[in-house]
């Protein structure tokens, strides 16, 4: 990407990277580290024309909820995340979205 002077890196972080979850300490720490890495890569790669966007989703209906009873209408759907990534990727060369925070309408599950 540096040689090509273009490209876009998306990292899937979590709201736990900005609001740690006591019951999920290891998860929160790793997501916090990933958000920090994304910020560092953005700074380092910016002079080379490489974009970096951190996706920060809240409760998202993925396989991590398997076996639990959850109301999908109160969750962020994977399609929502995909749509945000696609629309960000399609932006002009002069625009970079640094972070996208997507939370469930009714709060975290």
**In this predicted model, what pLDDT tens digit does every residue of 81-100 receive, in sequence order?**
999 999 999 999 999 999 99
- Would you place residue 72 in the very low, low, confident or very high pLDDT band (cuts 50, 70, 90)? confident
Segments forming the whole domain that contains residue 21 = 8-102
Let me know if residue 3 belongs to a domain. no
Give the pLDDT mean for 3-21.
Answer: 96
Residues in the chain: 109
- Are the C-beta atoms of 32 and 17 separated by less than 8 Å? yes
Burial class (CB in 10 A: 0-12, 13-18, 19+), 86: exposed
Give the pLDDT mean for 32-46.
Answer: 98
pLDDT in the model for residue 42: 97
Give the pLDDT mean for 63-85.
Answer: 92
For the chain, the average pLDDT equals 95
Let me know if residue 15 belongs to a domain. yes
Let me know if residue 107 belongs to a domain. no
The CATH code of the domain that includes 55 is 3.40.50.720
Q: How many domains does the chain have?
A: 1
Let me know if residue 64 belongs to a domain. yes
């Amino acid at each position: 990407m540096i040689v090509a002077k273009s490209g876009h890196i998306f990292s899937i972080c979590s709201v736990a990277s900005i609001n740690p979850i006591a019951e999920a300490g290891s998860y929160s720490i790793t997501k916090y580290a990933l958000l920090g890495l994304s910020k560092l890569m953005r700074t380092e790669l910016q002079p080379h024309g490489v974009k970096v966007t951190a996706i920060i989703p809240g409760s998202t209906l993925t396989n991590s909820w398997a076996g639990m009873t959850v109301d999908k209408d109160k969750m962020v759907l994977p399609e929502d995340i995909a749509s945000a990534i696609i629309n960000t990727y399609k932006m002009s060369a002069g625009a970079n979205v640094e972070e996208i925070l997507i939370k469930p309408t009714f709060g975290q599950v």
